[in-house]
Structure formats: C-alpha cells, structure tokens
Amino acid sequence: MKISINGQTIELAQGDVTLQQVDAIVNAANSRLAGGGGVDGAIHRRGGPAIMEETDRRYPQGCPTGTAVISGAGRLAAKHVIHTVGPVWSGGKRGEAELLASAYRSCLDLAVANDCRSIAFPALSTGEYGYPIDQAARIALQAVTSFLSEKAAPELVRFVLFTEGAYGAFAAALEEIRAK
Ligand code: AR6
C-alpha cells in the first residue's frame, strides 16, 4: 500500500527492515547504543561489527530518547543506518507520543541532511518497548506526513512491518490519513 504526499511516497511493506535496498534504514536502538534484540539485534548481526565500532567511536555518550544518530551500514544493502530511540511505553502519560514523533522526525532530519532519498523504518517502540501498535502507527504516519508536507523530502519513506498485525495497524492508520 502506498500514498503520495506532494510528490513524495509513503509505502507500507511487510518484511525485514534490514534487507531493504534504500539509502538509510532505521534502527530501533536503546539510549546507550548498546545493541539488543529485535531490529537492533538483526542490524548488528547482518551488518557486522563495523556499525557498532563506529557508533562507539562517534557517539560514546549514546543517543537520548527521541533523538537519532547516523552511521555507515557495514555489510547491509543500505548506505546508512540511522539509530533512533523511541520511548518505553508506560501508560501514555509520560510524553510517549511526543517522544515517538520526535524519534521519527529526528531520523528524517538526518536522512535529509545526509542526502538520503529513501529511508525504511521499522515500527519504533512497538516490540520490546511495548508501545500499543495502533497508537504507534498513527503517530508514525502523522509525523512522516507532516514532515513530507513541510520539507518535500525524502522521496520515499517505507515502513517495513514485521507481522501481519503490525501491517494491518499501519494500513488502517494510513487509510485514516488518506480519508482526511
Ligand atoms: N524488521 C522489521 N521489523 C522488525 C524486525 C525486523 N528485522 N525485528 C523486529 N521487528 P524492537 P523497540 C519489529 O523490539 O520496541 C532492542 O533490544 C517488532 O515486531 O526491535 O523500539 C533495542 O536494543 C516490533 O514491531 O524495538 C532496545 O533496547 C518493532 O520491530 C529495544 O529493543 C520494534 O521492535 C527497542 O525496543
């Protein structure tokens, strides 16, 4: 499923974000950039040790929640990995929605600053960090649509959803946006 916003494309796909042939893929990291499971584990496993060597060297202070940093992509097909940290869900009253939107925006800012024409996101915060998928999907798509309307870049934003359920949640949220 895809929609066009001012000539830019938002696309939904089901699959593995680490396999995407795009300029940048996004890592659902933690604030210490210490590696972990889920997307983070898959990126470092497939991409090899060069990615963490670079983030250790360039970002020893880590990456606060809601912000992002960029590195090379090691053996992955992408050119860059953008590491961002979504919020841990703790009921919704601790600024989670704003932090999640900020994580998406920070990635898009870095993508544009590094001339990335295409970027692939996983559903940040919806695995280990426990963010409810329906709410996370709406926030993700709202953040991306308003960024694209304002900045007219990058050309392609792809969400790569790991499960059918996650794909369904994003498809429903995208329909809501399209209907507006
Ligand atoms: N491709 C696309 N989506 C995936 C993949 C994949 N290869 N693997 C998992 N998902 P998570 P978080 C989905 O846990 O919630 C790590 O340990 C998954 O089904 O990767 O932001 C970090 O080090 C879920 O919908 O990220 C952090 O400590 C979504 O990606 C912490 O987890 C995000 O799940 C971050 O937690």
Establish whether residue 127 lines the binding site of ligand 1, counting it when its CB lies within 6 angstroms of any ligand atom: yes
pLDDT tens per residue across span 34-61? 999 999 999 999 999 999 999 999 999 9
Phi, psi (degrees; rounded to nearest 5) at 28: -85, 85
N-terminal to C-terminal alpha carbon distance within the chain: 17
CATH assignment of the domain containing 111: 3.40.220.10
**In contact, 36 and 90? CB cutoff 8 Å:** no
pLDDT tens per residue across span 123-154? 999 999 999 999 999 999 999 999 999 999 99
Establish whether residue 85 lines the binding site of ligand 1, counting it when its CB lies within 6 angstroms of any ligand atom: no
User: What is the Å distance from ligand 1's center to 50 Cα?
Assistant: 20
User: What is the Å distance from ligand 1's center to 115 Cα?
Assistant: 25
Q: Which of 39, 69, 106, 163 for mutating ligand 1's site (highest number of atoms within 8 Å of CB)? A: 39
pLDDT tens per residue across span 154-166? 999 999 999 999 9
3-state secondary structure of 2: strand
For residue 99, give its domain range. Answer: 2-179
Q: Looking up tokens 């946006």, which residue turns up?
A: 177
Domains identified in the chain, total number: 1
User: What is the Å distance from ligand 1's center to 179 Cα?
Assistant: 29
* pTM value > 0.95: yes
pLDDT tens per residue across span 61-118? 999 999 999 999 999 999 999 999 999 999 999 999 999 999 999 999 999 999 999 9
